[in-house]
Amino acid sequence: MESSSKSDEKLKSEKGIYTDFRNDMTYGEYLCLDDILSSQKRLSGHHDEMLFIIIHQVSELWLKLILHELSSAIQAIQSNKMQAAFKMLARVTKIQTQIIQAWDVLSTLTPAEYLEFRDKLGKASGFQSFQYRQIEFALGFKTKHILKIYEKDVVLHEQLTKAFLAPSIYDVAIQALARAGFALNTEVVKRDYSITYGGDESVAEAWKEVYRNVDQYWDLYQLAEKLVDVEDWLQQWRFRHMKTVERIIGFKVGTGGSSGVNYLRKVLDHRFFPELWDLRTTL
């Protein structure tokens, strides 16, 4: 009864009003819709700024869910709970299809329409999305200079630094290969996680063995294919991002000072899980 009472206490809202989920809480209260639907603060009087704001807010919500799933998948792999990890990674790819389609909606914004309110954005830029940076870190793309963007926010900087220093999902996948008995270079298994992974021959040979003996290493094979799925969809998201930006602003400098399309083209060349792509050629 005491536990039940404590649970009921947790149902109190931030305003101090008691809400019993079973009897009194409404759909809007549960989802905090008042807060969500009142958070679109247009800085211009232009009609299309609402589209611009909502697309980015919705994308950030999806990114939050991707981070939630990726973080849990990393923990699951570390605990050798592969089936749970597979479910989470499958969900990540489904989420990715949603944020890719969001570019189709944003691309209805024409260059002339965007110019009506672009100056109101100041130096705000999608380049500053800290959740996207955390996803890059979780996938193993570590760029230390990125942390400087968030130095003025002590809490956020600490959060990002922790993610920067943590093992990526590919790091824990490599550790799973080691647990399975593959002879990997020690410096790869116990490497500095703050450095972007660049590939290793012992890892490449291990993955080849997995793909040559699928039945024997079924879980590792599934893990590899789930990782390829995630990277494939991420690169498709990056490509649609680049083409949408090019369609709306061409090769102008981004609002945050980034090189815009040129930067987005450059990151398309990066591979998160190099051995899993190389083995398609070498098998």
Whether residue 139 has pLDDT greater than 50: yes
Give this prediction's pTM: 0.88
Region 74-92: mean pLDDT is 98
Classify 51-282 by CATH class: mainly alpha
pLDDT tens digits for range 190-245: 999 999 999 999 999 999 999 999 999 999 999 999 999 999 999 999 999 999 99
Scan for tokens 């050798």, then name that residue. Answer: 80
Which residue type does 131 have? Q
Q: How far apart are CA 73 and CA 167, in angstroms?
A: 12
DSSP per residue, 121-153: GTT--GGG-HHHHHHHHHHT---GGGGGGGTT-
Whether residue 105 has pLDDT greater than 50: yes
Q: How far apart are CA 257 and CA 250, in angstroms?
A: 15
Please, are residues 235 and 257 in contact by the beta-carbon 8 Å criterion? no
Q: Where in the chain is the domain with CATH 1.20.58.480?
A: 51-282
Band of residue 7 on the pLDDT scale cut at 50, 70, 90: very low
Whether residue 277 has pLDDT greater than 90: yes
**Segment holding 273, helix H or strand E:** none
Total length of the chain: 283
Which residue type does 57 have? Q
Q: How far apart are CA 160 and CA 150, in angstroms?
A: 8
